[in-house]
Structure 1
Amino acid sequence: MPPAIGATIPDLERPATGDQTIKLSDYRGKQLVLYFYPKASTPGCTQEGQDFRDATDAFAEANTLILGASRDGIKAQENFKAKQGFPFDLISDKDESLCQAFDVIKLKKMYGKESLGIERSTFLIDAEGVLQREWRHVKVKGHVDEVLSAARELAGR
């Protein structure tokens, strides 16, 4: 069962870029945007990552850090981060434990075929580790602006 708005998020440990293992609790004291994307280096995921990258300073002004996550392996995540110049880390969730915890694995249809994959989703977590907002079935265009607005609002409380 995914965390509900107002609930503390699960504190899972996952491998991430920069040869590190991170826990979500490592980010307490700052707000956190955790965004899930289907596959590194695909057009929609690249655009979404670039939009977050380009807004990193604005998020920092709102006391908010960014983490991206997908089922890609760490090598694919490292390449994606380096190629796009992302100033934030990417989580490799090959065993889907983080994806399952946030309930982002969904049955998807593409070209008439069904498969399980990540539904593009974003979560805004406050400085105490409590889920404050979620966006599911995200459309990339304009999404980062909406998340930034929510992060600013949360920081201003």
Structure 2
Amino acid sequence: MPPTVGERAPDFESLLCTGETFRSTRLDEALDGGCVLVFSAFSFSAIAENWWKRYERAGWADFDVPVLGVTRDGPYAQNAFLRYLESPFRLFSDVDGRVGEAYDLLVEREGMANTTTSWRAVFVLDADRTVTYAWVADDWISPVPREEVEEAVAQL
């Protein structure tokens, strides 16, 4: 079961991509008083492009805590995606699915032979990685409840 409000979210280490560089980083190192951790399937999908643009337009880059994405793409694709969007966000590369597995979000994708991705999900974490807000989609296209996320971030 994915982490729920009040639980401590798993720490992990993966390549954190900035759009130009990437380096192995622990989630604990990327926290800056907390974070918004956004799971999505693949960079360059229409859904990912749409949602990351929406987060930027909604002002999520101005939060007092970082917004960090997690997808199954490799670091070169992640950086290309961030440059393509001219995005202010950073993305963890979860090529082997270990992060998605740690958060119990991996699901086999129908019609994508032997491919698993994380369900779309958003976790707002405080400085100790305690989950203060959790949302896990039950489909691939429903919108993230942005107002709820923004409210949770404001309460950090």
Q: Scaled by the length of structure 1, what TM-score is found?
A: 0.83
Unpaired segments of 5 or more residues in structure 1?
A: none
What one-letter code is carried by the residue in structure 1 that aligns with 2:90? D
1:137 to 1:146, Cα distance in 2 relative to 1, 3 A:
same
2:7 is equivalent to residue 7 of structure 1: yes
1:42 to 1:13, Cα distance in 2 relative to 1, 3 A:
same
Within 5 Å, which residues of 2 pair with 1:66-145? Answer: 66-109=67-110, 116-137=116-137, 139-141=141-143, 143-145=145-147
2:2 is equivalent to residue 33 of structure 1: no
Please tell me whether the aligned partners of residues 71 and 92 of structure 1 are also in contact (alpha carbons under 8 angstroms).
yes
Partner of 1:16, secondary structure, is: strand
Partner of 2:132, secondary structure, is: strand
Please tell me whether the aligned partners of residues 6 and 130 of structure 2 are also in contact (alpha carbons under 8 angstroms).
yes
What one-letter code is carried by the residue in structure 1 that aligns with 2:70? A
Following superposition, which runs of at least 4 residues in structure 1 exceed 4 angstroms of deviation?
A: none
Please tell me whether the aligned partners of residues 56 and 87 of structure 1 are also in contact (alpha carbons under 8 angstroms).
no
1:22-74 Cα shifts (integer Å, max 9, x gaps): 1111134422111111110111111111122222344x2xx221001111111
1:19 to 1:57, Cα distance in 2 relative to 1, 3 A:
closer
User: C-alpha distance in 1, partners of 2:150/2:89?
Assistant: 15
User: C-alpha distance in 1, partners of 2:4/2:149?
Assistant: 18
Offset of 1:140 from its aligned partner? 4.8
What one-letter code is carried by the residue in structure 2 that aligns with 1:43? A
Aligned positions, number? 150
Partner of 2:51, secondary structure, is: helix
Residue equivalent to 1:42: 45
Please tell me whether the aligned partners of residues 34 and 67 of structure 1 are also in contact (alpha carbons under 8 angstroms).
yes
Please tell me whether the aligned partners of residues 40 and 69 of structure 2 are also in contact (alpha carbons under 8 angstroms).
yes
Which structure's residues are more often helix, by fraction?
A: 1
Unpaired segments of 5 or more residues in structure 2?
A: none
Please tell me whether the aligned partners of residues 3 and 101 of structure 1 are also in contact (alpha carbons under 8 angstroms).
no
- Alignment RMSD, CA only? 2.3
Residue equivalent to 2:27: 24
